[in-house]
Amino acid sequence: MSTLRSKRTQKALVIEGLSDLPEPPKNFANESWKALKSSLRELMSLTRMKYGREHMYKTVNALCNNGDTQFILDKLMKFLYKYINKEMTQLSSFIGDVHQYIDMYDSHWDKYQKNIISVLSVFMYLDGEIKTKGEMSIANRADRYYQEKLISTSAVYNRLINGVMELIYEERAHEMDHKLQLKRIVLMLEKLNIYKDQFYKHFIEETDKYYKKMSKSIFENTNVSDYLRCIEKMLKKEKERIENYLSVSSTRESIDKVELWMIKDIADSIIEKGMKQLISNSKLDDLKLLYMLFKQVNMLGPVEIGFNKVVKETGLGIVSPQNDEKGLINALLEFREKVEIIMQTSFENNIKFKYSNKMVWEEFINTNQKISVLCAKDLDENLKKGSKVKLSDQELEIRIDGIISLFKLVNSKDVFEAIYFQQLAKRYLLDKSKSADLEKSVITKLKAECGATFISRLRNIQNDIDFSKTYMEHFHRENDVPFDFHVWTLTGQGWPRNYELKPILPPVLLNLQEKYTIFYTNLMKKKILNWNSSISYCEIQCNLPNGNKSLTVTLHQALVLLLFNKVDTLSLERICEMVGLPIGVLGREVLQICMKCKILTKESKGKEINGKEMITFNQNFTHKLYKIVINSLQIKETKIEVQQTIEKVMNERQYIVDAAIVRIMKARRSLSHSALLSECFNIVRFNISAVEVKKRIERLIEQEYLRRDENERTLYHYIT
């Protein structure tokens, strides 16, 4: 099967009467330019045009196609150059203030750009022709000439640049808003390629002068808090300036100038003037701002030094021996809390700051050797029953943590430990501990800071407590005891010792004492009991004329009160004789009965008592409480006891130093005096002077542990 296709014949389109284009007249280029020039004037002046843009465009096209491209280009550029010259002349002769001038120039530039765009719309074909040849475009030629003319016309250029700087000054000094206008001017400068090399250089120079002048003026007339906020605001504004109207090619040089003159140049003055004030008033936000500003310029060193200087000065003022000891620990804890809050809130918990600050605390806190004693006393006050300190569990935990944090800083930890153990023992023995869990918590925290001796003594105390409870359970099972009777059986290590006092006990107590002695010696062969009455206490029931009372008293006070079952009046001398204790010991306890609850009275008034003083039972005694505690002095450490404890520690230190020296020399065999001192200071945990170490060295030489070198007196040798 086949398909038939018709054959189509192609026909040519013939237009009759069409001939070649005629040659343009000889004067076509000049005449055309005259018409174009006239139209350009009308176009740029926005007047009614004789010929429209389309006609102008076709004329330019025809000229280019006729080979007159260079001719028309030269004519156009000459026209534009003349136009630019005329504009510059008008700009030079303008009369008005800086704002009027910038407004006028802004309008001029807007008009100039629109005119260039209008010209390009007509000469687009010409612009394409020259760009095809790799030549500079019409707009670029005009802009380059404009740039050269602007820079060379100093009356315009200088006035323009100075005007821009004046607007920027007004923004900085008076917070006026010129950013939109400045943005347009900066874009113009950037387009003309005079922003970076001409304007920006001048801008940085003026910025430098401005902040150099302002830093001194503002700093001298404001407080540091306001000054810091002023810096923050300036930095923010300079950043906004870069973002809002400065070229994207701009660096942070203007910000650097703020940092240079407002921070770096007067860094020490800022710290000196404001650090103490900011810390004293707990200006946490301002301290944080100070820290962040100095961190921004890599100058945290002066902040650290200034902060530590204020901390040291304040700390030395707190621990000064001239201050009342009663409020010293409170003041230290409050100040330490303030410093820690500043570290956390304002200084980003800077590790370097924390380390150097710890060194500062150790330095000033150890100028007062009583801190360790006061820390131990404060800890005791918070751990015992009946304390005047009334804190919630959470507050108590915070308080104890604070005291232990101070303890960590003191060098005389051995003094603290000795007093702490005495007070711990009394809390256990007199049943004055507020909470067993709290005691364990404190012990756990102290273990981390104290050495093996502390842990060993603690273990001994705990063992004694546990064994004593076991002994009493056995004793009560084997003996009929008429009243609540408890004996603490202590090994003597870490416990208060005062075995010299031998009071005359009533038969009932003497009988129980003998029974327990027999019980214990049968249980523990070769062990001897020594009874300590100074830390014994009693609860006695009193049937008084005005009602019954329960009195908690020391054993010695109980013996005194029992004497008044038979008589109403006795002299202190007679009381001491009947109880079997010296006036120096018993007088203080009798005085407490007379002064505190007045169940007994004395003849004289005041806090003094003598042997001739007559002590009388108070028939009119009344008290609002049923249970009255009189033995409060028993749990308190007296000044004499504290002093004795310190002296004991000082004596023990001699042997610790001796042991340290021998251990060092045994390992080194030979060592110079200075090297031995250095190593000794590193080993011992307390402050000791070079003179004291030298005395111990001399002592060890006498005991033939060491010897001096025969040729060099400052060299020591270990004697095996």
- List CB contacts of 551: < 8 A, sequence separation 6 or more: 539, 540, 542, 561, 597, 599, 628, 630
- Scan for tokens 């006498």, then name that residue: 702
Query: Do the beta carbons of residue 129 and residue 60 sit within 8 Å?
Result: no
How high is the pLDDT of residue 6? 44
Instruction: Report if pTM > 0.85.
Output: no
Q: Which CATH architecture is the domain 263-412+430-442 placed in? A: Up-down Bundle (1.20)
Determine contact, residues 227/219, Cβ cutoff 8 Å.
yes
Fold entry, domain 640-718: Arc Repressor Mutant, subunit A (1.10.10)
- Integer Cα distance of 197 and 342 in angstroms: 46
Report the pLDDT value the prediction gives residue 4, as an integer from 0 to 100: 40
**What is the DSSP track for 589-643?**
HHHHIIIII-SEEESS-SS---TT-EEEE-TT---S-SEEE-THHHHSPPHHHHH
Locate 553 and state its tokens. Answer: 């008293």
Task: For residue 384, give both structure tokens.
Answer: 């015992």
Rg (Cα) of the chain, in Å, rounded?
Answer: 50
Both tokens assigned to 605: 């008034």
Report the distance separating Cα 623 and Cα 621, nearest Å: 7
Residue pair 419/644 in contact by the 8 Å Cβ criterion: no
Distance CA 261, CA 231 (A): 10
User: Each residue of 423-458: b (16+ CB within 10 Å) or e?
Assistant: bbbbbbbbebbbeeebeeebbebbeeebeeebeebb
Q: Could you tell me the two tokens for 511?
A: 């009988």
Chunked into runs of 10 residues, the chain (720 residues) has average pLDDT values of 45 53 74 90 82 88 90 93 94 91 93 93 92 93 94 93 93 89 92 89 93 92 95 93 83 90 95 95 96 96 96 95 88 95 96 96 92 91 80 88 92 85 84 85 82 77 87 90 88 70 90 92 86 88 89 91 92 92 88 86 84 89 88 64 76 84 87 88 81 87 85 85
Q: How many CB atoms lie within 10 A of CB 11?
A: 6
| CA pair distance 99, 240, nearest whole angstrom | 22
DSSP-derived secondary structure for 376-406: HHHHHHHHBTT-S----HHHHHHHHHHHHHH
The span from the CA of 430 to the CA of 121, in Å, is 107
Sign of CA dihedral 248, 249, 253, 256: positive
Residue among 465, 469, 463, 401 nearest 438 (CA): 401
Question: What is the C-alpha separation between 465 and 424, in angstroms, rounded?
Answer: 12
What is the residue-wise DSSP string for 161-225? HHHHHHHHHHHHHH----HHHHHHHHHHHHHTT-IIIIIIHHHHHHHHHHHHHHHHHHHHHS-HH
> How many other C-beta atoms can be found within 10 angstroms of the C-beta atom of residue 260?
16
Q: Tell me which residue has tokens 């001699």.
A: 654
Beta strand 600-602 with 614-617 is: antiparallel
Query: 537-636 domain in CATH 3.30.230.130?
Result: yes
154, amino acid identity: S
Q: Which residues, in sequence order, are CB contacts of 636 under 8 Å at separation 6+?
A: none
Task: Count CB neighbours of 559 within 10 A.
Answer: 24
CA 285 to chain centroid: 11
Q: Which sequence spans correspond to the domains of the chain?
A: 28-257, 263-412+430-442, 451-529, 537-636, 640-718
Same fold, 28-257 and 263-412+430-442: yes
Position 155, amino acid: A
Q: What angle do CA 376, 344, 396 make, to 5 degrees?
A: 35
Is residue 697 a contact partner of residue 705, using CB atoms and an 8 Å limit?
no
Fold assignment, 28-257: 5 helical Cullin repeat like (1.20.1310)
